[in-house]
Amino acid sequence: MKEFILPLNPQPFTHQEAVNLWARLVAGWANSLDNDGARTLMDGHPNPADSGGSYEGVTRMLWGLGSWLSQPDRSSTVTWRGETYDIEALTRRALVNGCDPTSPSYWGVEYDPSTLHDQRTVETGQIAFALWQSRERIWDTLSSSEQTHIYNFLERFARPPVTTRSNWSLFWVLNHACRKALGLPYDQSIIDTVIEDYLDSVYAGDGWYDDAHKAGVGYFDDYNLWVFGSHVLAWVQVDGHTKPERRDELLERIRLLMENLPYFFASSGAYSEFGRSLAYKFARLGAPLWAYKLGAWPYSVGQLRRLVGRHLRWYVDRGAIRNDGTLRQSLTATGSPEIVERYISTGATYWAMQAFGGLWTLSDDDPFWTADEEPLPVETENFRKAYAQPGWILQAHEGDIQRFNAGSMKGLDAKYAKFVYSTQFPFNVGLSNGMPSPDNMLCLVDGEVRGQRTKNVAFTVHETGWLRFVWEQVVNGVTHTIDTVIVVLGEQHLRAHRIQVSPDQTSPLKLVEGCSPLGYSAGEVPIIRQDKTSCTANLGLDRATGIYNISGYDEATLWQGAPHTNSVYPYDVLPVLTVNNVLDGHTLLCLVHGGQPFVEIDIPNNAQGIWQDDGHFHLIYGTLDLVIPNPE
């Protein structure tokens, strides 16, 4: 059994299962509300957005509430454990009190002309969209003063000029497009600027958007799904008919993105977690569901049904939802809380309701609910996919996925800096003494300070399964440059490095490099094997990870870092290789294993990596003979 809690639920995902889960979430959310029904009071790690209760815990629930109410014949109530919750009444109360400046739970802040927008700008998009979706049930029933309060809130936090340097541009669009559809004052120039100009400037091709001020910066993560994807698809529903040619062009980009999506999921429903805002969990399901609704899902509805059901279950079975029905900030009940960023309040996780935003825009008799489930790509073959734009290679093996990352970086964060992200071996997100864990990283060490990848210089990924990237690592203010080659061999991969030590480095440098961490739960006992050239960790007959020195390293050992750093498991062990004295031009070659346990590794006698004078890298490994050019 590969998964650490439950065997895979073999039953198809049903409408009743979705309703039951939704009712549980509605009940937990409703029972966490303050007296005005406009802020949530939840356990977790608060930030300033939690002052007075989290307004985000309500504004983000609107993704699901608005979609539930979008079907005119659907009941406004759900029942959980014998108690009935009126979604229409809860939504109306939240919108009225949250947008009323005289309410104790008002979502806004005092007007400051020097700050035309803040975090609430993000929230205005789904507020406006939920109003448009439920217009007959809610908007049309509000008093003129209540409508005025809501309009003033939407206007206050989405005034021009629009910021077009990141995904935030889409929040302005949805706000103004929905106001337009509701007959409220709006600014067409904001819609035009983003839909016509900005989206082209950051489009990187093959469905991918670069979450920056222009394409080519290399900011790729799930914002492609839960902002670029979801907000473009929401605009299509609300305002796309006014720009039919542009609508169709943007939908084609979504279709291209959806062509990639199923390959990122393991057979268990696990996702190769990577990037920021992972606390949003299953929010990534909203885009494919809306894509299906709008005809931009390129696969069968049966495959989508399986993907959605298994992904939701993966989180639910691991405690992502507390027993009281509220969402955790961490990925699982046992995962590190350091998965959150400083902008993730206790209620911010309700961005996850995009999944139900997509589900409930489908009618209750949609074919999605009854189509025969069809297998995910990983269930049918061990594939390898290369994505040039974000700089990734996906490797599927025996139902699990590895995502190798050469090209996407966004700040000093373990969520981007690892060489590989795996569904079977979730990465260590937590810090140890304020520094990252060296799992799937090469970390230079100066005294007590340990570095990580801080910047990409150049990269290339190749469809045959290799990546090469030149990157920088800053340690104690000194910048060093590393040239890395990774060759993917199924469950195993080869890593080669050439280190350029800065002439400004005056003290001795060491390094530590890890394989994937072996996460485990209470009661499980890893089996460790260690010798001079290798260190491995096995978890019974489940899975194993290990790293093997071919050349250039001094010692194989276990990493001794802080506990409770893994993104999914409560505990982990990490085999590493070390170097005691790193000199300029130091070269390294190792083999990394992650997959089946007790695999006998036989390093070929001819294994070697040659860094040629022309910049090419020549790898010989058994019958493998590769010459890899400089990265572009």
pLDDT in tens, 442-478: 999 999 999 999 999 999 999 999 999 999 999 999 9
Per-residue pLDDT tens over the stretch 600-623: 899 999 999 999 999 999 999 999
- Supply the pLDDT for residue 116: 62
- What is the Cβ-side half-sphere exposure of residue 504, based on CA atoms within 13 angstroms? 8
Q: How far apart are CA 479 and CA 503, in angstroms?
A: 10
Helix or strand run (H / E) with residue 290: helix 286-293
d(CA 78, CA 82): 10
| Intervals of the chain under pLDDT 70 | 1-9, 111, 113, 115-117
Residue 413 CA to its chain's centroid (Å): 13
Any idea what the Cα angle at residue 509 is, between residues 507 and 514, rounded to 5°? 160
115-126 in b/e burial notation, b at 16+ Cβ within 10 A?
A: ebbebbbbbbbb
**Helix (H, G, I), strand (E, B), or coil: what is residue 344?**
coil
Which amino acid is present at 1? M
Q: Are 570 and 319 in contact (CB under 8 A)?
A: no
Give pTM, 2 decimals: 0.96
Domain positions in the chain are 15-109+118-379, 381-628
Fold of 15-109+118-379: Glycosyltransferase (1.50.10)
SS (H, E, C) 347-399: CHHHHHHHHHHHHCCCCCCCHHHCCCCCCCHHHHCCCEEEECCCCEEEEEECC
> 339, 40 in Cβ contact below 8 A?
no
pLDDT at 499: 98
**Strand (E) or helix (H) holding 496:** strand 492-500
Which fold, 381-628? Beta-galactosidase; Chain A, domain 5 (2.70.98)
* Closest alpha carbon to 421 in 400, 442, 449, 435: 400
**Per-residue pLDDT, 591:** 98
Q: How far is CA 158 from CA 58, 167, 214, 492, 501, in A?
A: 19, 14, 22, 49, 48
- CA dist 245 and 252 (Å) reads 11
What pLDDT, on a 0 to 100 scale, did the predictor assign at position 431?
Answer: 92
pLDDT of residue 598: 81
Please give the pLDDT value at position 113. 67
Q: Is residue 20 packed enough to be buried (19+ CB in 10 Å), middle (13-18) or exposed (0-12)?
A: middle
Residue 93: enclosing H or E segment and its boundaries? helix 87-99
The sign of the CA dihedral 356, 360, 361, 365 is positive
165 Cβ contact list (under 8 Å, min separation 6): 212, 213
pLDDT for position 253 = 98
How is the chain split among helix, strand and coil, in percent rounded to 5? Answer: 30, 25, 45
Angle between helices 15-30 and 62-69 (to 10 degrees): 130
